[in-house]
Structure 1
């Protein structure tokens, strides 16, 4: 079977997992959606679990592409690049009909019952946080964050806050929770004194 057949099924899986979650995702529905025979599915995937895990991998390709485009934009300061990533993600949620984050959705559905998915989702979220932390470290190096700040902690915090806001956004079918979260987080970051030894900061 061709790679294009597998890609069609993975692409269908992206939207179907977002809409229905794992438990309500049927293999037959995927085959019907893509117009492929049952043998094609088991040629490429060992099981429904294997299929869903590969869909998550496919989802992460898109996430890393988004991180490359935004965090790699050297025309912007590092913290603006981080915000741009989340704003771009917010816009994608809009295009998807506010179905939210696949990682967050699957994590809530399966983390308590499937160690395999619990480990996979945590691995993916940690990978995102790690890349954001690298950008946070660049911000710290140029003096945009205090020297005693912990970029890794700050990156994990913004990812955690985002996932909660993404859930509320899905419930409301509205970007307001995402926008409020970004405004709050980056306003708080901007309000932190950059250096206690900075004479200009001491005058205010």
Structure 2
């Protein structure tokens, strides 16, 4: 919903409002269809204010990817940041959080994935920014998998980085396919299969992730 232009804001608040407005528009219609005028209208600021903070549309697109990455890290914090918790329990908690994301009223989509789909071949700077965020997600998951291997017996050894990227691909791909297929429940089904796969890696743990 567009914000009122009458609210007095600090420069930091104005910049944040512009970035969040861009994120909302990307999720709604993609970045290509998002114009600077629409961003300003959505944020409730003037075009002059936009160009005070950003050189152009590409710069705010990069900022939107980074903002989404920070928001994601905060959303996953109950699983990623609980350094005292059992890493396998934390992996299950992460899957629980992902399932909760799919149960919100808004469609379960990802700015990073959408920008990757739109620009991986045409805008190297966006591809690199998106890849950094995807790599960060995979690194966090791989770290938990490595820690879990130190504490729990495994069915057979596996490469944590490869498994983390597999889960990342399943997550991103599920959001894309479910959006195309108009079946949000598909993501939840795939995440439960990911949970089952995780259980096969650590078959003797018999943990209650809750």
TM-score range, shorter chain: 0.7 to 0.9
**Deviation readout 1:121-158 (Å, 9 max, x if unpaired):** 11110111001111111111112535622111111110
Q: Which runs of 4+ in 1 moved over 6 A?
A: none
- Given the two structures, how large is their TM-score scaled by the length of structure 2? 0.83
Q: Please state how far the C-alpha of 1:175 moved relative to its aligned partner.
A: 3.3
Q: Note if contact 2:155-2:200 (Cα within 8 Å) is conserved in structure 1.
A: no
CA RMSD of aligned residues (A): 2.2
> Residue 69 of structure 1 is aligned with which of 67, 78, 103?
78
- Paired with 1:5 and 1:63, the residues of 2 have a C-alpha distance of 22
Deviation at 1:105, TM superposition (A): 1.1
| Residues 167 and 194, structure 2, Cα contact 8 Å, conserved in 1 | yes
- Superposed CA deviations along residues 62-107 of structure 1, whole A, max 9, x for unmatched, are 1111232222236753233223324323433443611511111111
* Equivalent pairs, count: 195
Once the two structures are superposed, the pairs formed by residues 4-23 of structure 1 within 5 Å of their partners are 4-23=13-32
In terms of fraction of residues, the more helix-rich structure is 1
CA distance in 2, matches of 1:54, 1:105: 14
Unaligned runs of 5+ in 2: 1-9, 205-210
Supply the distance in 2 between the matched residues of 1:174 and 1:81 (Cα, whole angstroms).
27
Whose relative contact order is higher, 1 or 2, with alpha carbons under 8 Å and at least 6 apart? Answer: 2
Q: 1:86 to 1:47 in 2, by over 3 A?
A: farther
TM-score scaled by structure 1? 0.85
Aligned to 1:201: none
Structure 1 unaligned blocks of 5 or more: 196-204
What is residue 198 of structure 1 aligned with on the other side? none
